[in-house]
Structure formats: C-alpha cells, structure tokens
Structure 1
Amino acid sequence: MKIYITFFTLLFVVMSLRAQVHADFTANPTQGCAPMTISFINNSSGSGTLTYQWNFGNGNSSNLQNPTANYVNPGTYTVTLIVSNGTSSDTLVRTHYIHIFQNTTANFTLSPNSGCIPLTVNFTNTSVPGDTVITNYVWDFGDGGSISSQNPSHNYTQPGGYNVSLQITDGHGCHSTFTQNGAVVASSVPTVAFSADFTSNCTAPFTVNFTNQSSGMGTLTYLWNFGDGGTSTAQNPSHTYTQTGSYSVSLQVTNQYGCSKDTVYTNYINISSVNAAFHTNLGDSVCINQIVQFINDAGTTALWSFGDGGTSTLSNPSHTYTTSGSYTVMMIAAPGTSCIDTAYRTIYVRPAPNAQFSFNPAFSCGNEITFTPNNTNGTAYQWNFGDNSPIGTSVSPSHTYQNNGNYYVSLILTDSYGCQGAYQYPTPVIVEKPVANFNASPNEGCKPLPVSFTDSSSCNTNYTHFTNWSWNFGDGQTSNLQNPNHTYQDTGVYSVTLTVTTDLGCTATTSVEVQVGEHQHPQVQYSFLEGCANDTIHFISLSTDSNFIDQYNWSFVSDSGLVVGNSMEANPDIYFQGNGIISLTYVINQNGCYDTLKLDSIFVLHGP
C-alpha cells in the first residue's frame, strides 16, 4: 500500500512541474516622447501551447506574443503580462514601467512678413515646452541662412518668397518642427519706365497716349503726374494738354509690399509752334571726308537733304562729304504734320591740303636724307619713314636709316582749318650701305715679305661709287691706292685695315691679319741607328730661336712610302708602327715662315 501511495505522489509532482509556466518580458524603449510606439519582447517560458494576455496600462491590450503599443498621452504606465498553457498560468506586473513625456510644440511669430530689400524680419519664439525646458532652437530662414538663438532677427537681401522653419528640442530629447510656408516676401523695388506715342506738337489741345513699361513683384499701382496739374492712376493713361508749353511727366510705381519708385522725364512733352533750325558740331566750314554731326534744334522729327544727293530721316544725322565745294543743306521739321517748317544752311567743304613732298638724295648708303613738303604752311606734320622709327613731326625732317632696305615714306599734313591731307611717295627710299673687303696675297711668309693687296669692296654703283681708299698696314705704314703693294721688314702679326669712302660720304671698314716670320734653321738630335718596329725613340729639336717657333711637324716615312710615325711636339717620343729604312721630314714654322729639314735613311727598323 505504501508503494502505491509513493508512486502517485511522484507522478503528481512530475505532472505539476511539467504544467508550470513563467511570465517574463522587456520593452524597447521604455521611455520617450508622446506619441510613441513601444515594442515588447516576450521572454516567457513553459510547456504546452502558451497564450498571452497583455495590458499596456493605456486602455489597450493584446494577445500577440511580441506586440507593439502606441502611447499617445504623456504619463507613467504599468504593463501586465499573463501567460497560460491551459493548465497553469503566471502573471508579471511591471509597475511604472513605461514613461511617456509630454512633447514640445514648436511655433513662432514674425514681423514684418513683407517689405523691400534689404528687409530685416524679427522672429519671436512662441513654442510650448513639454515636461521640461526647451534646450535647443534651430531656425532655417529659407535663403540659406540659419541661427540657433531663441528670438532672432534676419536680414533678407535678395528678392523672393521664403519658407521659414523652427525646430526645437527639450531636455528629454523631445523635438518638434514648425514650418510656415511663404512666411516672408522680400520684394525688389519696381523698375519704372514709360513712353509716349508723341512728345511734341505745334498746337493745343494735344492728346498724348502713354505706355507704361514698368515692372516689379506682385500687384503694381500707378500714380501719374502730367506736369500740368493732371494726374492718373491708370496703367496706360491718355492725357490731353490744353495749353502750349513744356511739361515734365513723372510716374510713381508701388507694389503690394509697399516698395515704391518714381521717375521724372524732364520737359518730356513740348507743345509749341515748330521753328525749323539746325547747326553742326563743326560750324559751317568743314573738311572733306570729315564726319559732320547735324543737330536738330527744332526737337521734332525731320527730313534732311545734304546737297550732295545724300538724305536722312534721322532726327540728328551725321554725314560725310567726299568732294570739296559749297552745299545747301535743307531740313524739314515735323514732316507730314500741320506744324511742318523748313530751314536751309550752306556748308562749305574745304579741300584736303596738299601733302606731297620730295626727298634728297633718293638713295642712302647710310647718309642722312632730308624730306621737304610742298606745303610748308601746315600746322602739324606726321612723317612715317617706313622703318618703324618714331613719327617725325618737324616741317622738313632729316632721317638716317640704320638698315639696308626699300622704305616707303608717307606724310599726313594738317592745315590751319584742321583739315588733313595724306600722301605716300610712290617710289621707296633705297638704303644700301657699302661693304669693305680685300684680299692679301700672300697673307703669311718670311721677312722681308712683299704683299699685294687687292680691293674687292662693293657698293650700289647705280647711285654711288668709291672715291677714297685708306690703308693702314699695321706697321706704321699707310696708302691711299686702291690696290697697293707693301713689304713687311720685320716679324710680327699685322692687322691690316681698309676704310673705303663713297662720293656720298659713306664709309665702311674691314681688317685682315698678315703674319710675317723669319727662318729658324731646323736641326735635330737623336741616338738611334737600328731597332724594331713598335720601339719608342726620343727626338730633340736643336732649332735656333725656339721661343719664336709656332709649329713643329715631324714625319717619319719608310722606304715603302708608309708613314710610320709623326708628331707636332718640340721634343717628341715617337712610337713607330712599321719597319724598313726610315727617312725624316722635319718642318718648323714662325708666322707662316716655314723651314724644312729632310734626312734620308736615318735608321732601320726591323720586325714583322
């Protein structure tokens, strides 16, 4: 009997353990700003099929395993979870588990909300805080500007409509944003302009139709003042003037944002009898090819006839006369109207002054050329010599050309009336400088050295020729012959200079060197009679006056005609490359005076 009781007791305990459930959960987050959605994570455990009953403390419930709850109102909320498997159940109550804070409400006012640029707007924060104080303000003024102060001011510098927003954040991190679309309108000043169909007439009454060409932001209003006491607020008014006179017309334009601009056209409307009259900017005497500006003194439309076949319908035309003479100019003022009137004026067109000139000589070998104008009564002269040199301004200038070439010369001459004449000489100034040159034969040798000098200088013989030859032979002697002979008595290097002169006084100079030496009596010394190819042998020069020798030339030739060694040193070591009976040719030189020593069969070289 005890065995049965024990068995059933154990079975009951086991069954009770298997039927036990455990309720558990967490939430993320557990606090925040209203309204806020909270996610609940169910960590409950137990056997069998579990069911869940949630009470979120805000009047809402759920039977989902992992529900979400939306908390609209601020406050502290107790959350309850009941877990059941049908046999047993467990309840978990988390008291004051969820904390929902009262959110902030962003708002602001501003003044003014429109005006003319630059427009300063003052913003006043009217936001309502939540459960704690507001800690941060971020303003966006809609034009790229922003600030973090509580009650800022902002200056709008560009025209346009701007949306303004304010974002606030409190100590709990609750934030709110308020945007006011089109909060600010910053307006530009209107542009004012107008025109009239007619601005002048010869009689009153005279009706003028005005066309408003103004522009601006928003709706525009207008106030016209016609200068005779009359006004209008129409956009494109008509006005009748009842008295003769000159009237200034003004227009004031204002837009809906209070931005205003006005302009005045002074003496815009003229009502008076038409008296045709005109003048020119140059008077009644003008120059040929000069631009003449005709000024209409009547202030009306006009037709013009310039007397040379030219006409114009411009009010203030310009005209150029291409032929000298007297011309009667006719101006018709206010053509096609009852106010028509005609005026005449005689214009005298002066001929261009004579700018021709001559020059002497026509050819230059480097000498100065003088230019002479036919007209020496001008008030200004501008000479262009054709060589990019500065403009000459004297009456009759002289000019020296630096380089060979053909140069065309021109002159612009201004007379006492301001008229200008221009002339370019049809043929060029020819510039060709002489060239000195000569040959010396011989140009080197032994003293005494007779030298023949041959002149080969050149010049343009179509215009000039040589008249003088001046020779300096460099040894104190000279000559004036064209092709002289001269004997040098002593050694030296002589610079011979020739200067040639033409009949126009132009000169050229050149120089050539002549070298004069003397015999130096070549002698040599060596101690070798026989040896092998590829031997090196030392030779010594015993020539007299070795200090004056400019050049040594040693040449060793075999009996087969091959050069087996050579040198240009005074005392060389010769490395022989060859064999046979060797002969020596030894040449020394001073200033072109050469002396030669020939020694035949001086030694034998053996070898391969």
Structure 2
Amino acid sequence: MRNRYLNLTCIALCFSFVCTAQNTNQLTFIENQGQWKTEVNHRVAVHGGTVYLETDAFTHTRFSSDDFELHHEVKHEDQLAAQDVIMHGHAWRTEFIGSNDQSTALGQQERQEYYNFFLGNDPSKWAGNVSAFNSVYYVDFYDGIDMAVYSKDGAFKYDMIVAPGVSPDQIKWKYNGLDHFSLEDGNLKLQTSVGVFLEMEPYAYQDLNGNKVKVACQYAINNGEVSFSFPDGYDESATLIIDPILVGASLSGTVGTENYGHCATYDDAGNIYTGAICFGLGYPTTIGAFQTTFGAGGTDISLSCLSSDATTLLYATYLGGNSFDYPHSMIVSPAGELHVFGTTGSPDFPTTAGALSSTLGGFNDITVTHFNATGAGIIGSTYVGGSAGDGSNSLSWNYGDTYRGEIILDAAGNICIASCTESSDFPVTAGAYQTTYGGGTQDAVLFSLNPTCTAMNWSTYAGGTGHEVGFGLRMEGGYVYMCGGTDNQFFAATGVQTTYGGGTGDGYVLRFNNTGSAVSASTYWGFLEQDFAFFLDIDGDGDVYIYGQSANGLLPISPGVYANANSNQFIAKMNEDLSAVEFSTQIGSGMGGAFGYDFIPIAFMVDNCKFIYFSGHSATAGLTTSPTAFQTTGGFYLGVLDPGAVSLSFATYYGGPGGHVDGGTSRFDPDGVVYQAACTFSGFNTTPGAWSSTYPAGYDVGVFKMDFEAQGTNAIAGAVPNTSGCAPFTVNFLNTGSGNTFIWDFDDNGATSTQFEPTYTFNNPGVYDVMLVAIDSSTCNIADTNYLTITVNAAPIVDLGNDTTICTGAVLLDAGNAGATYVWQDNSTNQTFNATSSGTYWVEVDAGGCTVSDTVNIIIGNPVVDLGPDIQTCTPSLTLDAGNNGSTYLWQDNSTNQTFDVTAVGTYWVEVDAGGCTASDTIEITAGSITTSLPNDTLMCAGSALVLDAGNPGATYLWQDNSTNQTFNVTQAGTYFVDVTLGICNATDTVNVDYFSPNAYFSVIDTTGCTDFFTSFTDLSSTPESTITNWFWDFGDSFTSSDQNAMHQYGASGNYNVTLTVTTANGCQNTYSRNVQIILYPEPLAMFNFTPLDPEPGDQMNFQDQSTNATSWLWDFNGETTSTQQNPAHTFDGTGTFTVTLHIESAEGCQDSIQMYLDIREELIFYVPNAFTPDGDEFNNVWQPIFTSGFDASDYHLLIFNRWGEVVFESYNHEVGWDGTYGGKLVADNVFTWVIEFGDINNDERHTVNGHLTILR
C-alpha cells in the first residue's frame, strides 16, 4: 500500500427533480411526459420550492426553509418527533387572462442528462428518459405575442415578445392564493405565509437598427388585474421585449427543497450512484398557506448517476409513493443495472406486474427495486414484509442506524438482503433456518429474491426474544454471511464466543448455507456494554472481517496490531468457520468520543491484498491522520490498515464539520475506491469541474469518491487532450497505474492495443467505453481493470440560410442541432431566433464541444424613404438623400443617384427599389419669407440704453442713418427703422423709443406721543407712464417695509432720515427722502401698598400711592366706591377677596394702572367640652360644642358613639346639645366618642374633628 491516494473526486449535489441543482445558476425545466397533472407542461425547481408551467398560468409552491432545518435537527434527536414537525408552505397561481389556450410550450436547449419518475403504483404515470431544458418557449401565447421562460443568476424569469404592430395591452394576469400583493417602488410585492417575493420592476427594450434601446415600462393594477404600461410609448413598428423577474425578498432555501444523503455505490465503469431522501413538492391541491408533516408523507427516494469524474449528471430518478420512502443500500450489477433496497410507508409504492407483493403489509415494508441499465425502466419492484413494521431497525445506537441493512447480488443476479422485521408473518420459506418469529420486539431477516422480484428464492428469520437486526452481508464459497446486533442470546453459537456477552447489545456473525436453511458457523462478539457489528467482508482466503462499535472500549486488542486503546470502534478478523480470532483491534481517539463514539461506521472493505479499508461519519476531533491526509479535520474519517492490521498506512478526515449521513450504507469497490454519500450543510469540498460546486442553503446530499490506490496491480487510464471531442477525435491515452502487461480495448469494432500508452483516432461519433487491463502475475491481485468513457461528438451542421430580403413580417432563424448550446449575436441562447428587423445575424453552436457558426444578412420591410418635410427657404441650396444604401433610385429628372442637389425652388420626388420592395417620397421646395426682430414701440427708463437687433444673420441691413450692421445702439428718443435682405427675401421694420421717470413722494403724521404709538407714512408718488408696482421704505432705524402706505413704531425719540424708493412695472425707479422728528413722552408707572397686611372684618384699610410720573389718581375699591385722593382709606364689608384698582395719568396724558387683591378672613374659634354631669341639677346637664367665629352653621353635623360603635346622639343644629340619654333613658357613666363636621365661613373648606367625652354623676 503506497501512502498516498489518487483521483479524489467529490461533489455537493441535490439529486432529484424538485431537488436537483446544477453546475451553474441555470434552472432546469423538466417536461411533463405524464408524470404530473395534464395541465402542466414543464416543472422547474426554484429557490425554496417549485414552479409548474401551464398553458395559461404559473403555479408556485414554497416551503419554509427554517422548517426544513428544524426537521433535520429534531430528526437527529428523535426520529419519531421529526415526523411531527409542522412544515409550513404556500401555493399561489399567476393566471394569465385571455391567453391563447392553443399556445404551444416548446423546450429549448435540451440538457444532456435525463430524468426518470416512478411515483405511485400506476405504471401509466411512470415516465423514463424524460428530457430537460434550459428554457421553455411559448409560441403565440397571446395573438402576436410569444413568451420565453428561462432563468438568470438562479432566478425564475420570463420575457414577453411583442411582434411589431401588436398591442401589449393583451397581457394581463391576476394572482390567486396570495395573502396580499401591492405595488411598491415599482415592484410587485407578493406577500405569502412563508415570505415575501418581488416581481421586480419590468425592463423593456427594442432592437432598433442593431442598438438595444430601453423602453420605459411599469406595472399597472386595475381591479386586481396586473398589466404593463409604457408612459413614454415605444416604436410600434419594431419588436418589443418585456422582461420581468421573480425573486425572494425574505425567503432563503436550496433549489427545490432539502435532501438528506443516505447511501452510495458504483458500477464497473467507476460511475457514481447516490441515494437520498428528497422532500418533494407535489402539485398543490389547494392554493394559499398550508401545513404538512413529513411523518404523513412527502419524502421520496432520489437517485442519481454521475460520470466517474463527477463532472456530468447522466440521469436522475425519483422513486416513491405518497408517504415516506427511504433508501438503505444500493448495488449495481455487472450489466450496469442499479438495485435499491429501502423501506416505505407508502401504500402506492411502485411495484411491477407479478411482484412478490404489490400491497403494503404494515406500517412500513421493505422495498426492493431493480432498474434497467439506463435507469429509465424498472425490471422488478416489490414490497417485502408482513403485517407489522419491516426494515426499520429499532435496535439502534447512532443517528441513522434505523436505515441500515445491505443488499448484494449473487452470480445469477439473485438479490440477497439482510434486514429486520417486527412481523410474525414475514414471508419466510419452508425449510428455512428459522421459520417462526422469535417472539421478541424485532428479528433479523435474511432473504433472496429472483432478479425480477417476482419470487422469493429463500427467506429466514434470525432472532429470539429481544431485538435482532441484520446489518452486513457477504457471499463466499457457497456460504452467506450476515452480521448484526442483538440484545439477547438467540442462537447457540459455535465460534469464538458461544454465549451472549451481556450488556445492552452484542454483535454477531452467522454463516448460512446458500439456501438459508442452515447455519454452519456462528459467534457472538461483545462484552459488558453495547457492541454491534455493522459490516463484514471476506478476504481471498475465506477469512471473515467485521467492523463495528463497542461502548466500553473493552474488546480485545491483539499483540502486534495497530490500535487506539479505549476506543469505541473495532475491527476483528476470524477464520472461515468463526472458531478462531486472527486479530482484534480498536480504532479511534482513545477517549471515547463526545457521544460515546469517535465516528459511526458507514463503509468497509478488504481488498485482494488484504488491506483493510474503513470509513465513518460524524467524526470527532483527535483522530490520527497520516502525513498525506487530505484534511486534518472534518465530518468524515477514512483509513486503511495494512494486512493483519499491523499499521495504519493512511488516514484522513474529509468534508466540513457535522458531515454525516441520515442512514444507509456506502461502499468501497475492490480497487480501494470509496463511494461515500453525505448529508452536509457546510464545508464540503468539491473538485474542479464537479457537476455542482455551488453550496446551497440548508442540508443537501453530497457524494465523494476517493481512490486509495490499492496495493498490487492498478489500472488507471487517462486521456489527452480530453475525454470528449469532435469526430475525427484523436486521443493520446495515459497509463498511470502499475503492471507489466497492458491490454487496451477501444470499444470500436474490436480495435485493441498492447502498447503502454497508445494513441487512437475515433472516426465516428459515439460513446466509447475504453477498457484498460493491467496484468502483473507477481502481485496479490494479478489483474486490474479500468474503464474510461470517451465521447466523440459529430460536428453540428449549422445553416441559417441565404441572405434574405422580405418586405413585411419576420424571419425565424433555426440553428438546428437540438440539445446543443447556442450563442446568438445578442447573447441569447435559444435554438431559434426571430429576426424582426434588418441586420446581420449570427449564431455559434456548441454540440458536445464541437463548435460551428453561421451568419446571414436579413433585410425586412419596404425601404423607408424620407426626404423630409416640405421646405420654405430664402436660399434653395441643399442635398436630398433617399437612404437605403445599395438600392436603385429614380429621381424626377431621371437621375439615379442616392442623393440629389437642389439649387432652385420646385417639386422633387424619388422612387427607391430595395430587392423588389419599393417606396417613394416627394418634397416641395418653395420661396420663404423673413421677419425682423425689432421690439414693439418702447418706453425706456431715463438713463438706460437699448440695442436693436434686426436678426437674420448673413443678411444685408440698411438703418435710418444708412448704417449697415445687424444691430443699432439707441441712446435718445426717436423713430428707428431697418431694411433687411436675405437671398430672395426682404423685410422692413420700425420702432419708436421714448424715455421717462416716476416721482417718489410721501407725507407723515403722528410723530409725537406716548410709548408704543405708531407713525403713519402715506405714499404720494406719481408717474407719467406705466404704473408703480413696488415700494421700499427705509425708516432710518434699520427697519424697512414694502407696503405702499406704511405704519412704523419707533423705539426712541430722535431725528430719522426716512427714504421711499418706488419702482414701475417696466423697472424704472425714483427715490425721495426727508427728515422726521419723533418725540416719545415718558410713561407713568402705577404702584401702591396698603395696611394692615392681614386685615379682619371691619378693619379700615389705608392705601399709599407709590407711583412715578403721575399727576392724577382714580381708585376703585372692588366696585363699592371710588376715590381721586392720592392716599385714600376704605373699609370693606364682610369677608372675602376684594379687588383694588389704581388708574394714574401723567401731565402729557400718558396712562397706567395696577390691580391688587385683598383677603379679609374671620378666624375660626370653637370649644368642645370633654365631660358633663347630667344628674338633674341646674349645672352642666347638657353637652354642647361652642362656636364663636369663622363657623358656617348651615353645614353642621354632630355624631356621638358608644364604645360598641352605636350612634347614641346625632344633630345638625349647633345650638342643640346632648342631654346624656339614649332611647329615652339616661346612659351609664362612661366614655363616648364624638365626631363633628362643619363648614368654614371664609371658603368652601369642610372640617372634621373628633374626640372623647365622659359622663360623670
């Protein structure tokens, strides 16, 4: 074993139809061949869902990508719980109103891969070899309007192609099923329950004379119907292209929906096969928001076949029914026929005529499907199971163990499967090793079907009273070996471990005869914890190898082997009859791993030289890697042990963190090449040229192929310059393997070679499977075979036809060669091109790498002849051009040039003939006239200047003073005239010019007064001409006004220079200024005080004047009386708040006033006794509160309570007291509580007081 590996090939893909991605961002349009509803013509997977193309509509479905991720994460924790995760989706339709129901949808640019659909148990709905295209073209979608549906940068797009003269107003659509839609910022905002989508603002354009001209275009909404509008119009004589695009604004997701990788295998040519589950989106039964769970259905098996270098998807297949379907294990026969073992809960899983079972027996059954070599047909397919659950392992350690088991083929093509069942009526055969159910939770089963899946060759249980599962399977020397796991002692072992080892599980190996009727050797493998044997293989000596997990790290380690003690993965070798252990070892980190394992076994093989290959997923950190490792961290761990496990010759990580599978098995081929499926969401490395290297969001199925270069003879073939080319194609073959004899078979009518690296020419188109056989009799594997596919393509024949001239219509150019790729002169990529305008058109066609181009010149339409509008001119000297280069011409004088020189007035015409299409035009050349540009009679402002301009440059001029310039400078009033001559035209003009100025003047009043008075300014301006339209006042104190008559308030006395500037309607101005004296008298200030400050009723109030600049006084005492004294006195009646107002006046008559408020209050005085003696004498017989002032008797309330809270006395009259009786009787001596409520005579305030009184006798 050389310590390196070769030909690492890996790819991250989404393998099915709803679930298929591409190696570019180009979407794939798959045609309907009966697998979908009849109204669907094509289906395309888009980000987050699917679009169904119909005759008159698009039907969209989307799922929430967040729900997919939640489902996957829950599935890792609890697979049953994952089935109940609610998946939110939404469906809506874009329905085109009035479109042609006879419109034809044609696939364009056929892709090289094909698709197969085996959905449900109705063979009439199956479809194989279904074509896929890069675009779809609707012919005559509306009258005169075609529609092209395609993708750009991964987004779904469609173009409306409007022919010349056809109205785009036909195009209308409505949305059905949306939560809401609106027009925002030019875009259509489509609101759904799983996110917002945008129909981006439409882009429209026309090809005019070879130039792409943008046309203003926008959406219009009327009564819920959407159409296009063109605010600036467009050229209706040319084709119009309208180009909207649909994108997601707040929704993420993979193309289609997510895929979980399960299994992988290979064929003899090294092609790669993957198996996954795909969350398919079927045609919606209702529109709007919906919910589902994938426990109730929705997962199907998606299979794909890629070329050996993973650069080409050969085909993809969709297999399943209306519930859950899972692939467990796959194998390809020597004839290239794929066999798939899985489980299903679908009652309509596809089965073939005469199948062993065509009905679902229990909750889930095992399924076996045998495809033909193209994958486009089913040779046999059947259910296998009883009335309970079959195929799903309940004894599982790791995530994904539920979907283990293995399928292999015998030499006759019979199908042998190791699995499990919970059914007591599983179809076992008479004479089987175990014909009855073991009685526990689950039994392992081992059975053999014929190649067409119509008959059971033999079948047996293998189980006891607990759980048993069958994991690994091999046939060798007339025996069938099965390994698995059990949690009880269900057989009497004969081998190295004869009894169940204890704990929660043991591995086991059973050796059956080739009819399943007897076990000739058997052993348990396990100790105190949980131990499972997942895989087994057999070397050339018949020795048996097993690969599995152990929970305690206690399984034996043989002397001299490579080992990582205390690890949870084991590899052991036993002799043919399982009676002796050749070696046993542990592989891992030696630390037990974070989850009780270091990695989960997923593929295993022992090659002809006894090198041991193993791989695992969900790898932890800290595992040993070799110096030539591809990665030192990752989700997958792969290694090779030397014969006898004496050393680890190679080990590497691969993929991103968290890389795993969701069940199923992968395989090594006998040459040491691993074919590994993966379920991954990041960090998955791909190789150059891989069919898909763009990583989508969410989880996806990935596959990698890694060649470990098995020791011994290796056949490895290569080709230079490439593996595909055009016929005749010469290939220089490379030989990078090992051996001493080589045989090449070129798959071309028996042509062979024994050269080390031959050169061979393939003259005819075709696909050739070139075989290299390397031979070395001195090695452990004497011969090795390698296949290399050489594709030889025929050069395409491209003929766009001869150069063409037509008078009307369009020319449809067809590049032929269906399925090729095309590039036209405008970078469009359809097979056909509709030439709607004259020009040079070319196309380049690439058919399998063979490129051919063609060019054609198209002239469309009658020539357009335009001599221009009729002309009036004073100088008849010009050249007329009839255009249309290369045509023939006939002018009015029988001349035949394209142009004609005009030298005199007259009628001129031309007739143009362009390839038989004719047109003509006529133009009248007549004598014109000129006009001068002097202004009307003009009134000028005094002092301004005027320049008169007679216009008509190039003419001759004569002014009133005999000057001859085009212009004349006016400096004084007068009459001015000019005579203008231009060619054969003449004109004169006169203008009168006068000057004037307005008179500015104003008057002023109110210049003297108290502070805050206004001075009035009155405009008295006049003008002899025009009118005054603007006034500007400057009041001399930095303030201005634009009123005609102004009012202004000055802040201080003084002399102010006031200026008025007036402006007339024609802009003339005049200014008048004068001095204005302003006198402001000093203002008086009213103020007073009074005594006493806290008066009581009846007090005389004395008022003292404190004012300044006052000569007279007027007092107002709350309206009761007035006084003109400077310091008066006054007595107010009663109590309350009283207003006193003082008005003063200065000697100049300026006034001021002040108002004050006085509060006169009566003091509240009262007395409440605390005891009395109602003993009948004349003293102190009545208890009564006494109020002397400040008391409002009308608001009085007295309550007296005994010690039990009873009211013994109550009064509303303050003059009535208590006589010590209650109920007519004197009360006993005691203490009583009183409460009094009363009003305040000074205000509305209410008082509450309380206390105690004592009766004494």
Please report the TM-score for the alignment, with normalisation by the length of structure 1: 0.46
Please report the TM-score for the alignment, with normalisation by the length of structure 2: 0.26
**Which of the pair has more CA radius of gyration?**
1
